[in-house]
A and B are shown apart, each in its own frame.
Chain A
Amino acid sequence: MEHAGIGHGHSLKNYLVGFTLAIVLTAIPFALVAMGVLPRTTTFVIVAVAAVAQILVHLRFFLNLGFATTPRENLLALVFAAVLIFLMVGGSLWIMFDLDYRHGM
């Protein structure tokens, strides 16, 4: 790795690997939805898995996050945001769909 600071871990190879992986992880869900050969639920699960994988690819190769190279407080902020998102989004969906269910919708 290069010296600390802005230049940390930026390399052409990183960007190209990330770009290639992102293309693959985009093409798979789009192709599956376009062809519609798999059952709806299966397609949906694959779309979700590809999305999570692609977000990790972007974080690693475009935003250059790494356990060893990124400052600890940046990773902590990311984890904290992820926990908040999980609680607020998960909680909202849970409550709202439970309400729908109880209203007999």
Chain B
Amino acid sequence: MSAAVDMRENEEQVLHAERAFGFWIYLMTDAILFALLFATYIVMLPGTAGGPEAKALFSLPRAAGETALLLVSSLTFGLATLAMLAGRKQAVLGWLAVTFLLGLGFVAMELSEFAGMIALDNGPERSGFLSAFFALVGTHGLHVSMGMLWIVVMAAQVMIKGLTVPVGSRLFRLGLFWHFLDIVWVGIFSIVYLPGVM
């Protein structure tokens, strides 16, 4: 009996390891997608078509604020992962909630930036440069929004199903996704915002 249970647990472990690997492959393809959006942005930098250049559009304090929100949210997701490993359900839910709010703050700042630009007729249709900017930063923002939706789904699963092995495995993959988005953001502030206001 016990050998059969062991074997099933082992199979389950292999299954979750395979899923983690599959998700890792997805993240690598996503990294390639973002890399090409970065390349497009750099190529499009001079293509302002008489419209505003980066310097007139970007705000360093806003970029710093967005960076701080995402970085802290990476830490709080890490704390949720540690709480999960310790089997502390309430702590997992608490840290997921904090991570969600930080993500919400980030998306809100980004949307207000986009809205401000579009209100001044500097939307994606203004120039090749702005198309590339909205494509790159917007794709990242969309990923963060999807990550937030996923956080809500996982919080519900933790509440309803508890910290079971499948739930833990999904939370782990969500963590990979969330940390990955912070890495992409490092690229965005280093290639878009900092050189933009320099």
Contact = CB atoms under 8 A, between A and B. Distances in A.
A105 B47 CA distance: 12
A43 B194 CA distance: 10
Nearest to B184: A55
Contacts of B190: 29, 47-48, 50-51
Contacts of A34: 60
Nearest to B169: A6
B25 interface: yes
B39 interface: yes
Interface in B137-157: none
Interface stretch (B73-81, B100-108, B109-117, B118-126): B73-81
Given A23-B71, A30-B64, A73 B21 contact: yes
A91 to B, nearest CB: 9
Interface residues of B, number: 48
Nearest to A77: B28
A6 B198 contact: no
Contacts, number: 117
A89 B35 contact: yes
A12 interface: yes
Interface residues on A, range: 35 or more
Nearest to A89: B39
B182 A58 contact: yes
Given A19-B75, A48-B190, A63-B176, A89 B36 contact: yes
A34 B187 CA distance: 18
The DSSP consensus for interface residues of chain B is helix
B129 interface: no
Interface in A35-83: 36, 40, 43-44, 47-48, 50-51, 54-55, 58-59, 62-63, 71, 73-74, 77-78, 80-81
Contacts of A58: 74, 179, 182-183, 186
A44 B198 contact: yes
B152 to A, nearest CB: 22
Contacts of A77: 21, 24-25, 28
Interface in B13-64: 13, 16-17, 20-21, 24-25, 28-29, 31-32, 35-36, 38-40, 42-43, 46, 60, 63-64
10 contacts: A6-B168, A15-B75, A18-B78, A19-B71, A19-B75, A23-B71, A54-B186, A71-B17, A85-B35, A88-B35
Interface of A: 5-7, 10-12, 14-16, 18-19, 22-23, 26, 29-30, 33-34, 36, 40, 43-44, 47-48, 50-51, 54-55, 58-59, 62-63, 71, 73-74, 77-78, 80-81, 84-85, 88-89, 92-93, 96-97, 100, 105
Interface of B: 13, 16-17, 20-21, 24-25, 28-29, 31-32, 35-36, 38-40, 42-43, 46, 60, 63-64, 67, 71, 74-75, 78-79, 81-82, 85, 168-169, 172, 176, 179-180, 182-183, 186-187, 189-191, 194-195, 197-198
